Amino acid sequence: MNAAEQQAFPPIEEALDDPDGLLAIGGDLSVSRLVEAYSQGIFPWYGNNEPIMWWSPKSRAAIVPGQVHVSRSLKKTLRQNDFTLSINQEFNAVINHCALAPRDTDDTWITEDMLEAYKQLHLSGHAHSFEVWDKGQLIGGLYGIASGKVFSGESMFHYKTDASKIAFVFACIHLQANNFTLLDCQIQNPHLTSLGVITLSRDEFKSYLPTCKNEIKTSLEAAISPHCNWESNHFDNSQGLLERINELT
């Protein structure tokens, strides 16, 4: 069996209905395997002392970046504060804070192995972070993986009101400017709904994936997202973000 065959996942249509979306168990969290997974709409999700489990639910929370909803209260927060915004400045700090963020359970799905794997994805140019700062302190952020023109948001955190929402809006505006077609949020929740995130069927979501659009030669090439300038930030503070939001609405 060659390396490609060993890396292959089953078609996402074969995922279980109960538990919803479970597709495979086992394997590893190597860069190549994670890139292959995300290019097919598959993500790992498991807890401590559990085997690696790979998921592709039948319904997917997602948003077209240009359709992000910015409430009046969020605009007020942006207007009344002078937060600094950055991209990929402190990826490790963002994912570490996400791992510590309170969850509905006592455990976190961001295990030590996951932390190391996604940090390697970042060093390889596949994973990216969006940061929100207040007077030099990191107060919010999110991280995710780029594959073709889909960005899969993995987790976000905040230490001040609305900071994670600001990071999300910041990500959407940046992704829109770089021609991303979808921000995958995986599992719907009220926080995401308030930002305009909708639910797509598996077939609808699949139509956005690079492996279905034949946009790439290999999934490894997809995740680098050469069409996106990750080093360029069109604005560096909350006032600039607010101005951009107003231009688009």
Q: From 11, 37, 58, give the residue that closes a domain.
A: 58
Give yes or no: residues 184 and 113 share one domain. Answer: yes
CA-to-CA distance for 130 and 140, rounded, in angstroms?
A: 9
**CB neighbours of 245 closer than 8 A, spacing ≥ 6?**
70, 75, 78, 169, 173
Same domain, 75 and 178: yes
Give dist(CA 87, CA 93) in Å, integer.
Answer: 12
Residue 4 confidence class, pLDDT cut points 50, 70, 90: very low
pLDDT in tens, 123-150: 999 999 999 999 999 999 999 999 999 9
**Average pLDDT value for residue range 145-172:** 96
The pLDDT value given to residue 48: 87
3-state SS assignment for residue 82: coil
Q: What contacts 86, CB < 8 A, 6 or more positions away?
A: 130, 131, 133, 233, 236
Number of structural domains, the chain? Answer: 2
Domain endpoint, select from 37, 58, 79: 58
The answer on 65 and 35 residing in a single domain is no
Asked if 27 and 87 sit in the same domain, the reply is: no
For residues 49-65, give the mean pLDDT.
96
Q: Say whether 6 sits in a helix, a strand or coil.
A: helix
* pTM over 0.85, yes/no: yes
State percent of the chain over pLDDT 90. 80
CATH number, domain containing residue 183: 3.40.630.70
What pLDDT is attached to residue 230? Answer: 78
Instruction: Decide if pLDDT at 222 tops 50.
Output: no
Which residues partner with 157 through β-bridges?
141
33 shares a domain with 150: no
For residue 85, the enclosing domain spans: 60-248
pLDDT of residue 101: 84
The answer, yes or no, to whether residue 162 has pLDDT greater than 50, is yes
Q: What is the pLDDT of residues 77-89, one digit of tens each?
A: 999 999 999 999 9
